Amino acid sequence: MDDENVLQKKRPNFKLVATWVPIFIALCALGVSIWSSVWAVNKYTRSSRPYVYAVNYGATDPNTNVLLTYANRVFFEINNAPANIIQTNVSVYYRSKLLYEGVGNKKVRFPDDDIHWMWMIDDINFANIMNRPDSARQHLKRVITIDYTSLYENERYHYELHQRYLTDVERWEHFLETSD
């Protein structure tokens, strides 16, 4: 008997496997490709959206290099992408009583030129807010909300910051910050 014929007769039939293995590999590659595309779009969307937030305003004294905080001012920053600021709201409460509310105008902000902007409570309103004994001032709460969108998408974002007044250092302290 010929060696070649023996090998052919004893070899199992691989036609079924030979047909379905490339199809299985192609389906796996298609699945990975679709998953990768969805992941990339989600990652791009998260990384290209604007981020707008508020911080306490402070400046360094040029003579003493000491940080001076101004409790009547709020500093806003924008990062990552331009944003259409729909509404900015700064409210000050004593316990649950509203003492001050200021609403900002609609404005477009770009991270490369107007990365920082400020909100200031005028001196008369701020004096009325602070016209309390120290024990009562510890119950002051400032709530800052910002509603904004990206210039390129219609998705609306919301930022909210809650602060309490620290009488010993005369500045606001963050105690709750939420953003989407």
How does pLDDT run across 116-171, given as a tens digit for each residue? Answer: 788 889 999 999 999 988 888 889 999 999 999 988 777 899 999 999 999 888 88
Average pLDDT of the chain to the nearest whole number = 85
pLDDT value at 172 more than 80: yes
SS3 50: coil
Instruction: Say yes or no: domain 50-179 is CATH 2.60.40.
Output: yes
Cβ atoms of 119 and 161 within 8 Å: the answer is no
Contact 76, 52 (CB under 8 A): yes
Q: What are the beta bridge partners of residue 166?
A: 171
Cα 155–Cα 161–Cα 163 angle in degrees, nearest 5: 175
- Predicted confidence band of residue 33 (pLDDT cuts 50, 70, 90): very high
Residue 68 has pLDDT above 60, yes or no: yes
For the chain, the domains span: 3-47, 50-179
- The yes-or-no verdict on residue 16 having pLDDT over 80 is no
